[in-house]
Amino acid sequence: MSRPARDAHDPAAATDNRLVVAISSRALFDLGESNDLFEQEGLDAYRAFQIEHENDILKPGVAFPLVQKLLDLNKLAGDVPPVEVILLSRNSGDTGLRIFNAIQHYGLEISRAAFTSGAPTSDYIAPFKADLFLSANAEDVGRALAAGVAAATILPSTAPPRATEQLRIAFDGDAVIFGDEGERVTREEGLEAFHRSERELAEEPLSVGPFRGFLTAVHRLQAAFPAEDSPIRTALVTARSAPAHKRVILTLRRWGVRIDEALFLGGRDKGPFLDAFGADIFFDDSPANVESARKHVATGHVPHGVSNR
């Protein structure tokens, strides 16, 4: 795979183009056993367990394959890494030693972290300038979204890791990339009113959703590689269908954002299509959609918009 050209005389500009992903320890590693212990027996039992087992290597969690592929992009990108992964954990520094032992064991290039000893981690997302926050803690995700950061709750999944080296990211449209006004019209007035509204407003761009900034950052990273040999592929997987497709396409064109595949499913179950696309992660606001998707692919629930009120 070809390496992108970079301006060696402008490292600051390259750093500004870096994609930064913040992730919780429970999204990165399988901490189910110790988290159950914490909920059943409390902090002291949890702390003793983690210290006793700090040399036992944690198993990969749901988002582990995604993080591996993100960090592997750094091997292709020249002198300045295009991707940085930050660990944000409600563990203490003491109990977090086991997590860093696992990071080192798997050879993950993660060096920055915040351990909050049970306090919310979302306050540190902005100082780290993260484009995306992934966590198993819905409270932290909600706080991040409220602060204007793309964020998703990583759900338990039995989906197998993808065998391909290419990183594949799939997005829902309304209330994720775009605002939720279309969903509000559907809920309040019905599907016919939604299609009528979309025809009338076809030339008017959709409003910005919580993942617009992250999508732009991914597009910026994609642009550093030849389109025919890109290590990243994206897909829009939406319940929309014609005639509601036109406004989506024109909005993305207005934004100057590249989406490699667009699936307009007209309400069909998204899971099999995500499996066919080979998504490493899928982001959707609808609880029903994420329940379907997580049977096929790693899935992040975006608790935003009218579907979550």
Per-residue confidence band for 144, with pLDDT thresholds at 50, 70 and 90: very high
Q: What are phi and psi of 41, to 5 degrees?
A: -120, -10
Domains of the chain: 19-154 (3.40.50.1000), 167-301 (3.40.50.1000)
Helix, strand or coil, per DSSP, at residue 151: strand
- Nearest-CA neighbor of 141 among 60, 30, 42, 22? 22
pLDDT digits (tens, 9 = 90+) for 194-215: 778 778 888 888 999 999 999 9
Q: Give me the half-sphere count of Cα atoms (radius 13 Å) on the Cβ side of residue 139.
A: 6
Rounded Cα–Cα distance for residues 231 and 219 (Å): 12
Find the range with the poorest average confidence among 34-48, 144-158, 241-255: 34-48
Which of 36, 44, 72, 172 is labelled catalytic? Answer: 172
Phi/psi at 188 (nearest 5 deg)?
-85, -35
Active site residue 172: yes
Question: Contact, 134 vs 154, CB < 8 A?
Answer: yes
Ranges 10-24, 44-58, 86-100, 225-239: which has the least confidence:
10-24
Question: CB–CB of 178/211 below 8 Å?
Answer: no
pLDDT of residue 135: 96
CA distance 247 to 227: 25
CA atoms of 213 and 188, how far apart (whole Å): 28
pTM of the full predicted structure?
Answer: 0.89
Q: Yes or no: say if 99 and 118 are a contact pair by the CB < 8 Å rule.
A: no
Q: Which two tokens stand for residue 146?
A: 């409220």
